[in-house]
Amino acid sequence: MKIAFFDTKKYDQEVFEPKLKAAKIKAKFYDTRLDEDDVVLAKGCDVVCVFVNDTVNTTVIDKLKEYGVKMIALRCAGFNNVDYKHAAEVGITVVRVPAYSPYAVAEHAMALLLTSTRKIHKAYIRTRDFNFSLQGLTGFDLYGKTVGVIGTGKIGKVFINICKGFGMKVIAYDKFPSKDLDVEYKPLDAVYREADILSFHCPLTDDTLHMFNFGTLGKIKPGVVIINTSRGALIDAEALLEGIKNQKIGAACLDVYEEESGYFYEDLSGSIIDDDTLSRLISMPNVIVTSHQAFLTKEALENIATTTIENVKQIDAGKECPNIVK
């Protein structure tokens, strides 16, 4: 068996290589993303392993089929970038890693929130220049605040527990509420109206695309803090920017951005960013952007590699695999 890994970084290769060797699986690692131009790199491989910003559309899938590829292995939970229905039609199996470390993502969401509300990023920059002034660094307590958690899957549940540890009141929205979760579920509009902090933890689907939009701005509490560590397109970036400019939104903590492909994971420090919305968001003093980093812990990388390889082995052996995207 031979796997072509796309959009890989050094940390991916370091964790995958020992496991691939143990499983006697050959692999090629490419730093380029899979798309219509670079799909030719998959020639001669049985499997392609892709990440969140690879483009696996109908055209790419048809080419993969032509090259003899039998499986698309996502090394992430989300699969909105894969036309999995077309893949099934042409006989290519799609598998994913549904849970690599919900703690990694939930903890990053809280780290962003604390950094924003207590101005830790600004204090760090100041003290590096031996500026010890506290002017402009006033934050607010999380204790007693209402946090609205949108999406109560594995990550959402961990985030809820963290928030409860801070003494916060938690309300939640989910299309499919969890029966075993001790949390007050409310309609989405009610969550928008009541929450001091909104944190998004749901997959990107037709139903959730731009679930935060220009219409939402009339529903939210003035000064609300927005956190998104899930998928960028849950939030209409133009609406978010408008809300920040009009001071309806007090702060935004973003680990994802709806047009992040081509920017995130790359060093563009010497380049001009041609996405005006992203540039303006980053320039705002009350916005923190990290580069889809929430998953990046040693534990998560180990789990991603282990599950990905196990998925491939199970499908290759004709065994039942619980992680097939259907």
Which sequence positions are flagged as catalytic? 231, 260, 292
CA-CA distance, 180 to 198, in Å (whole number)?
22
Helical spans, DSSP H, in 254-293? 276-283
CA-CA distance, 217 to 195, in Å (whole number)?
13
80 in Cβ contact with 48 (< 8 Å): no
Could you write out the DSSP letters of every residue in 172-197? EE-SS--TT--SEE--HHHHHHH-SE
CA-CA distance, 33 to 61, in Å (whole number)?
14
Two tokens, residue 320: 């039942």
Helical spans, DSSP H, in the chain? 10-22, 58-66, 84-90, 102-117, 120-128, 154-165, 188-194, 237-245, 276-283, 298-316
